[in-house]
């Protein structure tokens, strides 16, 4: 299970480049309106994984495994892709995964924080720099962004 909250920022925070980062190429092979998705992702042009997620919102089911055939699957994701750089920003005992999008989603900045359980996720008080909480706003899920673009 994945337990995370998500925010939209007006812009990247100062000093972001000082944090560890990874470049993601992410494409969706299958997207179900009820919340299920199958995606492939390559990190920094090297490690590739396939992920299956079910559900939406705060708690989702997730399975992920490494794959060797990313290049064969990538063309099947045409029209359903996300390009972004993820920065890993420490926040106390937690890590903010801050995504700066490129390509069709250029200008969008989101942040996610994963939690060990629902209680800690609900109790978390976000610092103001994280912006607006969109955890329950399906329009900001990467699979929806990949298909529909930045919400207006």
Q: Which residues belong to the active site?
A: 28
Cα three-residue angle 73-75-79, rounded to 5 degrees: 120
Closest CA to 51 of 151, 150, 149, 142: 142
CB-CB contact of 2 with 114 (8 Å): yes
Does residue 60 sit in helix, strand or coil? strand
DSSP annotation of 76: G
Does residue 123 sit in helix, strand or coil? helix
Other C-beta atoms within 10 Å of 15: how many? 9
């Amino acid at each position: 299970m994945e337990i995370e909250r998500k925010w939209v920022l007006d812009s990247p925070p100062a000093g972001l480049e000082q944090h560890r980062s990874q470049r993601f190429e992410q494409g969706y092979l299958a997207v179900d309106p009820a919340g299920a998705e199958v995606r492939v992702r390559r990190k920094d042009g090297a490690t590739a994984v396939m992920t299956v997620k079910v559900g939406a919102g705060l708690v989702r089911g997730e399975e992920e495994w490494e794959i060797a055939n990313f290049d064969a699957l990538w063309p099947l994701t045409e029209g359903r892709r996300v390009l972004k750089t993820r920065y890993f920003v420490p926040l106390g005992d937690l890590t903010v995964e801050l995504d700066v999008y490129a390509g069709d989603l250029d200008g969008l900045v989101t942040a996610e924080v994963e939690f060990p359980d629902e209680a800690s996720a609900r109790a978390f008080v976000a610092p103001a720099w994280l912006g607006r909480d969109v955890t329950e706003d399906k329009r900001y899920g990467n699979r929806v962004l990949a298909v529909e673009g930045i919400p207006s």
